[in-house]
Structure 1
Amino acid sequence: MYRDLALHLARNGFVVALPEHPGNHRDDRSLTGTVENLTNRPRHLRAVIDFACAEWRISSVAVVGHSLGGYTGLALVGGKPTASPHETGGEPEPLAVEHDDRVQALVLLAPATPWFMLDGALDDVRVPILMLSGEKDEHTTSWHASQDPPGFDRVAYQERMKAEVLEFLQRYARK
């Protein structure tokens, strides 16, 4: 969904990875709505960061996450998520997620945040965050589909968004 943004960042000197989470992507939704998915996603991202840091000697990492990718980024930088009864089959359950101090900035695009509703769930998040969400997006549908309101110029918006994300990352993720 964000290939143009990824390409824009790569053209401006960033190493970009677009991980596909096993069991939670457009062709395989087998882990959707499970505790396993909520604990796996940050672990997958850590593995990608481990590889990138070793392979390309990267010292500055930022995460850009849309929807559940926003959950993943927040969990990775100190958020304390809690699985809902829907995911646990019983009571709410705090999730053990290993944080990653290498992540220096987050870009959250219409982030899914219901797992961080308990008091103090975001108290340990200490990185700069750029959060963008749709003005008319009350609830993103399960397929992340949306309809542009009359007069909305998606192409122009995409160009503004790419510039804003680039400026933010150049400021906070290149230290």
Structure 2
Amino acid sequence: MTQTPNIPPLIESDEREYRDTGVPSTVAIAGHPIHPLLVTFPIAFLCAVLATDLAYWLTQDLFWARASMWLIGAGVVTGIIAAITGLMDFLKINRVRQHSAGWIHLIGNVAALALSLINFGLRWGNQANAIVPTGIIVSLVVATTLGVTGWYGAELIYRHKVAVIGYGPNERP
């Protein structure tokens, strides 16, 4: 497959990568990478905002507007913590930067956090007024973006073996 130098395709398939043992995460406890564990929280919080926004739209119950605000706040805080661990791997593991999946994952997640901060700011002082339609649209864009960046995060782990410690042919337990 002929490729343009320095511009990796969106999904690469290099047989050699499937045969190597992987690259461990630079942020790990007892060999277990921290970033994949931490990302579950902001993904859950920020995707749930879409559900609570829709619940507010359908019921006009202020509980859902407050719930959205709390979810965005929790999503941004946990997202920043997850981003720090992911950025450390991005900067220290050359394999991540070599693939478009790493760049899409990074840029998309930064965009999702930035949009979430904007969404939080729009709601500050009056949580309900910013939900229909702006809040719902922003929440939908954030949830969709997180779906795409999650896909590319999995691409890094399962296809490019980043944050994976494999066994060589003579090292099976």
Question: What is the TM-score when the length of structure 1 is the normalising length?
Answer: 0.28
Give the number of the structure whose residues are more often helix, by fraction.
Answer: 2
Give the number of the structure whose residues are more often strand, by fraction.
Answer: 1
- Report 1 or 2 for greater relative contact order, CA contacts < 8 Å, sequence distance ≥ 6: 2
